[in-house]
Structure 1
């Protein structure tokens, strides 16, 4: 039974449309398109965009029912890759956005999350709720960050009677950008909840490119469209995330700081970690024009415990905002089936499950179930267009002070929607 490259095209449909890590838990967005190393042809180029609309909103905050809309923002993930090689060796340059997140809590009561003590650098929820000794408090309104990855991955292959064996490896660099907006209140004295100054804080912090590596292996029997591969991506630590921002005085009892005053501040973010991961993919032809495949990924999200955004100035001193996570490791699994209707058109469908990483300190990333599909149109030997979509079901969840959060909250069952478009050129 010879299945040939037609089924390989189906595999690419599922890999780029249904198995996109853009829908996984945690801050995962895109992954480097290293699968282009297995495409036939001397030179391959692939460019794609994925749009995701994660509709997550609170149903209650600190025991009060709320309807503040969705606090998760929609986003677009770019992916670019180009490869050069033959059956024995090949290399691919890739670019994507590996990790990012955004949240806007403007729809909540008072336009932000509940108060926390900001006159401390502590990552203890108890300290963030100890208002008896606080000199300042803050409420987070908006928070977002993103990263860019540029990578080079190579393949070294050996073909035997039993199949083709490949070693994969490469390096990449990743940067980090952070933005945050919050409201702050400085008390007249420690533990005295009289607002001496209220303000709006806006900050931007950036981290330089940091290196990482990926390494893996693959085994193929091309005539059966069989391939099994494993790829490990290393952890990247960003410990130099800094920048600046402004504090706009909204009201004041101090004549030296009248309302409307804008003060520059320095900003810093505690260490940010892009976690290590291991992904295993497998595919095989089961009949002429038919293919099944599956994938499994482990991501070390337990390294994400908490983040602290800090500002400092000679006028206002130092204050900070705290975001607890205390995540557990993430596991994502997907299975799919595809069919080539003819030499030009292939289609695929897949189901997936992502175990939520939330443990009770933060409740955005609960269990996620997905249904996705895609179609590929091969105009000629050089060009192919792929389109796909995804529907995801997010289970409800809760967070509490007893589990490490600084406020109680619940989310209901929500949905995630996504669409993808990719173009491939082969020479």
Structure 2
């Protein structure tokens, strides 16, 4: 006879909760694995790995439609949890990549995002991540077939960032006065295309979790609510570098671009000689113009969130599963990166995020069980950027157990992103649209009980 309470309670809820990163919107990646707090073994460890492929790309940029590829990169989420304890109390230590994002805009016209104003810098690529190390404990009281638990703990979170923006640097002020005057009379500029790279980081900052749970093992009922506090990283500093992406050139008054030797030939017709040594001294593509420049960012906020999940048995070997998450993404306004006084801006101005899911878990026999769920994420984009629109997901997974101390879980997810638009009138630095796109994900984990 199948012990459906034991099989279902130990399998399907954790599978569903494992897909929270794909349904949490914004920069959410992974969440601490607190489900192992309810395992009966004295010691439990779980190692997990998730792969996500969000295929989001622009359909049009500043009114021009085209095939611009995807700017969202694939990513991997490792996680680890180790729990010690018993029915009365337990604690779990976790490591997970909590928040992260990356964007590569090199397929857009000019190899980067459009400039926010003529001559401004243009974001080519950016990437950041926050790793979380945490400890969460459960203190429980059981009576009349019910168990009440209080949850609480601390976490530490770091922050790292790397980004590159493109711009043109005016070299006119470095020229002899006669050449400056000659270029000025023609309405021309001597420019060199440059890439400004920034690498910044912030130390670990501390936050907390607090929550409660209620269980009735007889019907495989468990309901949990867990709050995660906000963390502000206000000391993000590092260094930057400046390098030439190609040779210096001259931009004429009509906007045409000519090589420096061509411009020198034009000036020679007016009796102005440009020394060969000066031409040879101009920056060439690939040359490093400056290193070790001071870099910093504005405050980055990891938002507070409230997560509720529940399960209950509805038939032998069958569970009804549900979850809800609120995340305070409205704290995410804009990322401003400054290197040696030059700033680039990535606006967001998000709404709060709400996500929900409902599903079923089924124990097929003593060794195999699984789950399937559908989910909805409200999306957080407001028109300043348009990556995180409404998302609908379908996910499922299997649990394989050969005994009471080992379990392997595998699963997959497909998500459907709705279309959207961003505009300068809503705070964007350029106008753009995205179509209906897809997200794909796969997950695997192994759990050992002792």
Q: TM-score, normalised by structure 1?
A: 0.91
1:144 maps to 2:127: yes
Q: Which residue of 1 aligns with 2:7?
A: 6
Query: What SS class does the counterpart of residue 148 from structure 1 fall into?
Result: strand
Q: Which residue of 2 aligns with 1:373?
A: 396
Partners of 2:188 and 2:20 in 1: how far apart?
Answer: 48
Distance in 2, matches of 1:106 and 1:173, equals 34
> In the alignment, what sits opposite 2:209?
214
State which structure, 1 or 2, has the greater radius of gyration over its C-alpha atoms. 2
Instruction: Work out the CA distance in 1 between the residues paired with 2:151 and 2:305.
Output: 15
Q: What is the match of residue 155 of structure 1?
A: 138
Deviates more, 1:105-114 or 1:211-220: 105-114
For 2:357 and 2:160, locate their aligned partners in 1 and report how far apart those are by CA, in whole Å.
31
- Matching residue of 1:120: none
How far apart are the structure 2 equivalents of 1:391 and 1:356?
A: 16
Q: Is the 8 A contact 1:10 1:291 kept in 2?
A: no
> Does residue 258 in structure 1 map to residue 283 in structure 2?
yes
Which among 164, 174, 181 is matched to residue 181 of structure 1?
A: 164
Measured in 1, the distance between the counterparts of 2:3 and 2:409 equals 24
Q: Does the CA-based 8 Å contact 1:330-1:354 persist in structure 2?
A: yes
Contact kept in structure 1, 2:53 and 2:75, CA below 8 Å: yes
Within 1, Cα distance between the matches of 2:20 and 2:372?
Answer: 13
- Aligned partner of 1:343 in structure 2 is 366
CA deviation profile, 1:173-220 (whole Å, cap 9, x unmatched): 000110101111134689x88353321122211111000000000000
Alignment of 1:145-294 (within 5 A): 145-161=128-144, 163-187=146-170, 194-249=189-244, 250-252=246-248, 258-259=283-284, 260-264=287-291, 265-294=293-322
Q: Provide the rounded CA distance (Å) in 2 between the counterparts of 1:139 and 1:298.
A: 33
- SS of 1:206's equivalent in the other structure is strand
Task: Count matched residues.
Answer: 404
The 2-side partners of 1:412 and 1:169 are apart by 42
Matches within 5 A, 1:97-108: 97-108=97-108
1:99-131 alpha-carbon deviations (Å, 9 max, x no partner): 000010111111111013xxxxxxxxxxxx3x4
The answer on whether the counterparts of 2:105 and 2:111 sit within 8 Å (CA) in structure 1 is yes
User: Which residue in 2 is equivalent to 1:123?
Assistant: none
When the two chains are superposed, the root-mean-square deviation of aligned CA atoms in Å is 2.0
Question: Partner of 1:197: helix, strand, or coil?
Answer: strand
CA contact (8 A) 1:46 1:425 kept: yes
Q: Tell me the equivalent position of 2:384.
A: 361
In 1: Cα distance, 2:47 partner to 2:331 partner: 31
Secondary structure, counterpart of 1:54 in structure 2: strand
Q: Distance in 2 between matches of 1:10 and 1:35?
A: 10
The offset of 1:322, in angstroms, is 0.3
Which secondary structure state, in structure 1, belongs to the residue aligned with residue 350 of structure 2? coil
Q: Which moved more, 1:395-404 or 1:201-210?
A: 201-210
Contact in 1 for aligned 2:23/2:375 (Cα 8 Å) = no
TM-score, normalised via structure 2 length: 0.86
| Structure 2 runs not aligned, ≥5 long | 174-186, 250-277
Measured after TM superposition, the shift of residue 332 of structure 1 is 0.5
Distance 1:157 1:79 in 2: 26
In structure 1, the gaps of 5 or more residues are 117-128, 313-317
Which residue is equivalent to 1:410? 433
SS of the residue 1:98 aligns to? strand
